[in-house]
Amino acid sequence: MCRPVVVCAVLTAWALGLPVPVLCGGHLNYRPIIGVLAQENLDSDVNAQGSSYIPASYVKYLESAGARVVPIRINQTEEEYTKLFSALNGLLLPGGDVDLQKSQFSRVAKIFYELAIKANDASDYFPIWGTCQGFQLLTVLTSNKNLLTSTDTKAVALPLVFASGAQNSRMFKSFPKDLLHSLSTENITANFHRWSISIQNFTRSAKLKRFYKILTMNTDGNKEFISTMEAYRYPFYAVQWHPEKTPFEWIDKPGMVHTDAAIKASFFTARFFVSEAMRSQHRFATTTEEAKALIYNYTPVFKGVGSIFVQMYYFD
C-alpha cells in the first residue's frame, strides 16, 4: 500500500502541473476498472429490455484505452455504492436525457461525487469524467444549482476554442500538436445537447469559478458555452461534446464525424482518463467479486443502424 506522504507528493505535483512521481516504487495500477453510471430509460425507447441502460459506445470507449468497465446500476442503496466505490478506479458519467436534480441517475452520481471529494481530500486518488449530460450534472453537483441555458447544439460538429494556456492543461498537455491544431480548426467535436453552461452563467457562479478551469469554449452563433473543463484541485474532467461517438456510433445525421483527426481525438481523451484511473489503488476484495461485477456479464442489444445508439446494455 502507498504511504500517505507518497500519494500526497503525487497529488501535489499533479496539481502544479509538474512531472508526477511514480506511485509505490513504480507500481501504477495497470488493471484499472472504471464504473459507468446507468440511467433511466429514454421515453423514445419503446423496445427497452430493462428499466435502465448504458450505451455500449461508452464501454468500448474506455476499453479501447486499456480499462475494464463495471456498470453502476441505479436504485441500489448508499451502502452498496460506498462498497463499490472502494473497488473502482474512476467514474464516467455518460450523456443522456434525465432530470439532473430528481432522477436516480443524479442521486447516484451525487453519492459518488461526494465520496470522490472525500477520498481525494484524503490523498486517495479517484478521477471522474463527465460527457455531455455528465458534464452538465457535474456543474449542478458543484454549484448546487441548475445553471444551464438552452443552446442550438442538437446535432452539430464544431472546432474547439481553446482558453489561454489550455493546451498545457492536465487534459491536453500530452495531446500531439497536430491533434490540437485539428481540434481548434476543424469541425470534429460532436455536439448533441439542448442545454449548456454559458460563459455568463459560469462566471456568475463563485462555486463553479473556484472549482473548475475553463479549457475550451464554443458558440451556437448566439450564446457562448463551455465545452471542456477540468477541476483545479481534483481529478475531475468534463466535455460537453461526445468523443465516444466518433468511433462507435454510426447514425447518419449532422454532427457525426468519422475523420482520422476525430478518431484520434476520441482515443486521446479516453487514454488520458484511463491513465488517470491508473493512479487509483482501489481494488475488489476478491477476484470472484471483481468477475461478477464486470460488464462482460451482460450482453449488449443491437438497436439498428438508424438508432442514436448502435448498441445498448439494459438493466433491471
Q: Which of 2, 132, 193, 282 is catalytic?
A: 132
User: Residue 267 corresponds to which cell in the numbers above?
Assistant: 482515443
Residue type, 301: V
Are the C-beta atoms of residues 246 and 189 closer than 8 Å to each other?
no
Laid out side by side, the sheet with 68-72 consists of 68-72, 33-37, 91-93, 128-131, 236-239, 224-231, 212-219, 161-162
User: Residue 41 corresponds to which cell in the numbers above?
Assistant: 430509460
User: Residue 54 corresponds to which cell in the numbers above?
Assistant: 448504458
256-266 CB burial, b ≥16 within 10 A, e <16: bbeeebbebbb
Length of the chain: 316
DSSP state of 190: E
In 3D space, the residue among 282, 286, 312 whose CA is nearest the CA of residue 34 turns out to be 282
**Residue 242 catalytic?**
yes
Q: How far apart are CA 281 and CA 55, in angstroms?
A: 27
**Residue 2 catalytic?**
no
User: Residue 305 corresponds to which cell in the numbers above?
Assistant: 443502424
Are the C-beta atoms of residues 50 and 40 closer than 8 Å to each other?
no
Query: Quick count: other Cβ atoms within 10 Å of Cβ 29?
Result: 17
Q: Which of 2, 193, 242, 282 is catalytic?
A: 242
The burial of 277, by beta-carbon neighbours within 10 Å (0-12 exposed, 13-18 middle, 19 or more buried), is given as buried
Neighbouring-strand partners of residue 195: 150
Q: How far apart are CA 258 and CA 36, in angstroms?
A: 24
Cite the active site residues. 132, 242
